[in-house]
A = this chain, B = another copy of it.
């Protein structure tokens, strides 16, 4: 297992972590200044500055990507909505490829309208089928762009609104169905916040193997957790066995970044410099 205690060369920052403090150009500067070698930016943050400008800045700063957030949200109430989602995912693939991302992270979506509190229907089997078909279509486009897709299972508490793929096993079953040859074009993003509780986590990480393990996200599960979306903890402040889980990832062949992704009203209220410095310190001490 790689030793993270004396270096943060394998630390990446998901830029949502400091999205309320800074624009993306400032985030890249602050990361580069601290020797953080990679980020995972969100599409809206890129768009707010401009795709081309961000690409140039990343290259000049020597900062790479550990992923690009995000594609997905395939289900829709009608055919026009389904087609619009596919078109949007093609644009996301193009942007990820333009920025040199190693993968596009897919938050697959679930009941249409649920995010706005007005679900159009409650048919989970239907949205799971739409997700499967949507990933299949995007995969064809992404293969041509040589851009791997990483399905991210989300915590079951987000099953209605954000993702009807809720376990690593389910994500890997999709991978096996759509990419049985394990070409590297389709895999998973393992975010410990979403999967730490799963009794099959170790076994499914082993099943995934190097070809399918495209991203690894860390933060922590707070006790108590006060909000279903924006109460993620800093590594070390909660109950996730981060180092044990990373050892499973490495045993399975993963050698990429540990990407810190924290949605938290608490950390969004702190100075961005403090957040990044804390990420570095905790990456070394507990990840």
Residues of A participating in the B interface, judged by any CB pair closer than 8 Å:
111, 114, 117, 119, 122-124, 128, 155-157, 159-161, 164-167, 170, 196-199, 221, 223-226, 228, 239-241
Contacts and interface: CB of A to CB of B under 8 A. Distances in A.
A174 to B, nearest CB: 10
A24 to B, nearest CB: 28
B166 A197 contact: yes
A230 to B, nearest CB: 12
A122 B165 CA distance: 26
Each complex incorporates copies of this chain amounting to 2
| A interface secondary structure, majority | loop
Contact of A223 (B156, B161, B170): B161
A7 to B, nearest CB: 25
A157 B160 contact: no
29 contacts: A111-B223, A111-B239, A114-B239, A117-B224, A119-B223, A119-B239, A122-B239, A122-B240, A122-B241, A124-B197, A124-B241, A128-B199, A155-B156, A156-B197, A156-B198, A157-B157, A157-B225, A159-B196, A160-B197, A160-B223, A160-B239, A161-B223, A161-B224, A164-B199, A165-B199, A166-B197, A167-B199, A170-B199, A224-B228
